[in-house]
Structure 1
Amino acid sequence: MKPEEFDRALEKGEIAPLYLLCGDEPYLVERAVKKLLDRTVDPGFRDFNLNLFYGNECKGEEIFSAAQTLPMFADRRVVLVKKGGELSASAQEVLLPYLQDASPSTCLILQADKVDGRKKFFAEFKKRGEFVEFKKPYENQLGPYVRDEVRAAGKKIDAQAAELLAYLVGNNLQELVSQIEKLCLYCGKKEQITVADVKAIVSDTKVESVFEFTDALGSKDTARALRLLTTLLDDGEAPLRILGGVARHYRQLWQVRELLDRKLPNSEIGKAAGINPYFLNKVLQQARNYRVSELLKIFEGMLELDLAFKSGGVEDALFERFVLEACKPAR
């Protein structure tokens, strides 16, 4: 079942007894779980009809017993298992018979980042229940995603404003939705959100600073990049989050660099790379600053940074060295 099919089924009131909701975009998974809970359990009776477990802590017998319990003062009981992908082998074995004869008055929800589909339990869950996977949107899908979210909030947004917001924030959907909420509040009764509105709101956040930092890197402006990096780290911005913005920017530059080497016209490069005309000239200019061999070394450097940060490396010094390497003039 695709996410849009999941949404349509909920709107029609079609509730299945088994759901496996997972994916690499936690915001979308969490939102899907909330939608499902809103449709299945009356808030006034959740104390009676909602059982919450964590897959890395609970026993299969506990989940089985809760799922077999009849609802109280309602038509349906919900059993939600967070971290469902971490259920122990013994818990999976205990629950396997339940999947083959699930209670029609219970909605069993497994929420997970990922599951091992090779295991019999999850293969059986997918076969007998509804499996919905929520993936991070690609960069060229972010603009339409912003427009949909703004429309759901009762407003409209200019195409360039949507692309600007997506470009500044990236595919961190939690942050993106947060910025959309701020924009809607900022615009008040005004129906249309413009580029000026986006600049007014996002420029007051760390998101804008990360954008300025990646812009300085792409321009090989060493002094500005080092200054912005220091500001970001001093303000408490997470190094891994900064690195995510850097990786996104260099992926785009690499794609455009290869298209330039193929001698494509600028208009075709913009379409092929999914870059809004609003940003195209700057990205083209920065891509010309690099050769593919340089970009390869930069990505190797980003991998080293990622591994170092996750193992507790000295963040400031490592990042500063990366900036110096990335901003070296082309030989």
Structure 2
Amino acid sequence: MSQAASRSLQAIVKNREFDPAYYIHGEDEYQKEAAVRQIADAAIDPAGRAFNLEVRRASELDAESLDVLLSTMPMFSERRVVVLQDPSVLKKQTRSVLDRYLDAPAPGTSLIMVAAGGKSDRALMERSVELRFDPLPPARVIKFISHHARETHNASITPAAAELLHSVVGSDLHELATEIDKLASYASGGEIDEAIVGDVIGVRHGETLGDFMDALVDRDAARALGMLSRLLAQPKTTGVSIVMVLANQTLAMAWGRAKLDRGMSVTSLEREYIGLLQSAGWLMLPKSFGAAAKVWARATEDWSAESLDRSIHALVAADVALKDTRFASDEQILAGLVLSICASGSSRLAA
């Protein structure tokens, strides 16, 4: 839905034709904030912005204050924008004021209602222009990285550097924007390449979470163990987050193994993996869907259903242990997990 919302948003800003009410929801807070900012910037004359932009939390409003907020006319501008955060928490009497307003909205006002987190209110959605922003899939995250560097800093970033940044930081657009700001400053107008990403973030190609996943797929315990301490030192990387990514990978490969066991050819499996990732919206992968599908398709034949099942049980046990700090450090628990997964017998050997 994010692509459709982005197209709608672009049309709103380009045509400067504003509706009385918008309902912005979804799980990607960065895109939601950007949408509010873009609509407000396009709708309000800069000279009158201080008088014509109101941002209020619904929890802070009673019926009277909301009525005043919505009935105030624009000053020094053709249009006024009211941003109402988390309208679902309005009390009954205050919600009645909002409902009456939506029946007959003020002609010079655009009300932007922003749902919190993954919440949605069907009644408000149906009476407004809906804009839904979900987390971006990996391919669009890479595009965001290049776009943000170019539009915000007039900087360029190589595809390899963008992939490396994504593999380390993940798909959180707030975090990515912060890191891109640092990288652009460090590059001082030059192109951002892998070396600069390594210098600023402290990780090199071959040391990312995506590389760690590949090492486990190949049962390369020595390589995986050699990355652990560096992985855990990366921003927002924890033992639990690593286990969650590995669980996604293992479950996907178990699904692929079942396809092979039912007669699917190995050559068809990569396409099937891409379809699975796209349909399921598995966004906790630190690599593109295509890159993940290629590795899994290559390796699935070497994993038996039983070995994948043992790996899933090892992942569950590691998750429990990581959430109980009495057992060991994250690195010790993950090291044990690596050895358990890599010790699983291959389907060819089992045969």
In structure 2, distance between residues paired with 1:270 and 1:229:
31
Matched, 1:330 2:331: no
Residues 175-194 of structure 1 aligned to structure 2 (within 5 Å): 175-190=175-190, 193-194=192-193
The Cα offsets for residues 66-104 of structure 1, whole Å up to 9 and x where unpaired, read as 011112333222221222343344432331111111112
Mark the runs of 5 or more structure 2 residues left unpaired by the alignment: 275-287, 346-351
Kindly provide the CA deviation profile for residues 263-301 of structure 1, in whole angstroms up to 9, marking residues without a partner as x.
4239x7279536556x88766677577544554565577
- Give the distance between the partners of 1:5 and 1:34, measured in 2 at CA: 15
- Greater alpha carbon shift after TM alignment, 71-80 vs 147-156: 147-156
In 2: Cα distance, 1:256 partner to 1:164 partner:
27
2:19 to 16, 20, 24: 16
CA distance in 2 between partners of 1:163 and 1:185 (Å): 19
Aligned twin of 1:95: 98
Letter of the aligned partner of 2:344 in structure 1?
A
- 1:94/1:259 CA distance change after superposition, 3 Å: same
Q: Cα 1:9–1:303, aligned 2, differ >3 Å: closer, same or farther? A: farther
> Do 1:19 and 1:131's aligned partners in 2 also have CA atoms closer than 8 Å?
yes
Q: 1:68 to 1:280 in 2, by over 3 A?
A: closer
- 1:142 and 2:129 equivalent? no
Aligned-residue identity in percent: 25
Q: Which residue of 2 aligns with 1:67?
A: 70
State the distance in 2 between where 1:55 and 1:115 align.
14
Q: How far off is 1:231 after superposition?
A: 6.4
Separation (CA, whole Å) in 1 of partners of 2:254 and 2:134: 23
CA contact (8 A) 2:25 2:132 kept: yes
Q: 1:115 to 1:237 in 2, by over 3 A?
A: closer
The whole-number CA distance in structure 2 between the counterparts of 1:155 and 1:31 is: 20
Q: How many residues align?
A: 320
What is aligned with 1:168?
Answer: 168
Conserved in 2, the CA contact under 8 Å of 1:85 and 1:114? no
Residue 146 (structure 2) pairs with residue 132 (structure 1):
no
Kindly state the Cα deviation for residue 45 of structure 1 after the two structures are TM-superposed.
Answer: 4.4
Q: Provide the TM-score with structure 1 as the length reference.
A: 0.73
Change (3 A) 1:217 1:78: same
Contact 1:63-1:79 at 8 Å conserved across structures: no
Q: How does 1:220-299 map to 2 (within 5 A)?
A: 237=236, 239=238, 241-243=241-243, 245-247=245-247, 250=250, 262-265=264-267, 269=270, 272-273=273-274, 275=289, 290-295=303-308
The alpha-carbon deviation at position 55 of structure 1 amounts to 2.7
Aligned-residue offset at 1:111: 1.1
Q: TM-score, normalised by structure 2?
A: 0.69
**Structure 2 Cα separation of the partners of residues 61 and 146 of structure 1:** 44
**Distance change (3 Å), C-alpha of 1:323 and 1:215:** farther
**CA distance in structure 2 between the partners assigned to 1:194 and 1:56 by the alignment:** 46
Q: How far apart, CA to CA, are the structure 1 residues paired with 2:46 and 2:320? A: 44
1:49-68 → structure 2 map (5 Å cutoff) = 49-68=52-71
Q: How far is the alpha carbon of 1:330 from its aligned partner? A: 0.8
Q: Deviations over 1:235-281 (max 9, x none)?
A: 88463555555455556655666677644239x7279536556x887
Counterpart Cα distance in 2 of 1:23 and 1:220: 38
Partner AA of 2:178 in structure 1: S
Conserved 8 A contact 1:70-1:105: yes
